[in-house]
Amino acid sequence: MEIVLLLILISLLGIMAWQDFVFRSISWYLFPMLFILSVLYNVMQTGLNIFVFNFLINFLFVSILLLILSLYFSIKSKRMVNIINKQIGLGDILFFISAATFFSPVWYLFFFLFGLMLSLLFAVFFILLKQKQNLIPLAGIMALLQICCTSWVIFSKQHFFYDTGILNWLNV
């Protein structure tokens, strides 16, 4: 059952990445599917209490980040700015929330930052190719990164639900 869920997650993430790279949008129904399957898998592995704790911290992180981003653009333009579909796509936000179900807080922070760095490299790559690129497929890039993480879980049997492994590795 575990492998089947992970393979379905990889398939969904692959479809999301493909849609974001090709169409610069993702079908809305893929987000609840990803969310539900990730929740199901995480709860099966950790239990409801650990899942809820991890998800709430990750959700709070995303919410604070989006609030800061909104405040930044509002102060910059000297009026209230709705950042959705102007500075960041709704699909990107929905993906951040869906991905928050798959990781513990420290792992999510690493996933999030590494995904943003990959997106920045993607943008620089297109600038160097002198191709005008207005939209960066952020959710698609992060979906590819989550495919790598999910594949790691399949092959190593090490999950991203607990922070102890990474904290030990970082000597914290």
- The string of pLDDT tens digits covering residues 58-110 is 999 999 999 999 999 999 999 999 999 888 999 999 999 999 999 999 999 99
Q: Which residue has the tokens 């709430």?
A: 56
pTM: 0.91
Tokens, residue 66: 């989006």
Mind listing the pLDDT tens digit for each residue in 20-42? 999 999 999 999 999 999 999 99
Closest CA to 144 of 103, 101, 108, 99: 99
pLDDT at 57 exceeding the cut of 90: yes
pLDDT at 151: 96
User: Is the distance from CB of 9 to CB of 38 less than 8 angstroms?
Assistant: yes
What value does the mean pLDDT take over residues 5-15? Answer: 98
Q: Which amino acid is at 3?
A: I
Which residues fall within 8 angstroms of residue 44, CB to CB, at 6 or more apart?
Answer: 1, 2, 5
Mind listing the pLDDT tens digit for each residue in 111-162? 999 999 999 999 888 788 877 667 889 999 999 999 999 999 999 888 888 7
pLDDT at 125: 86
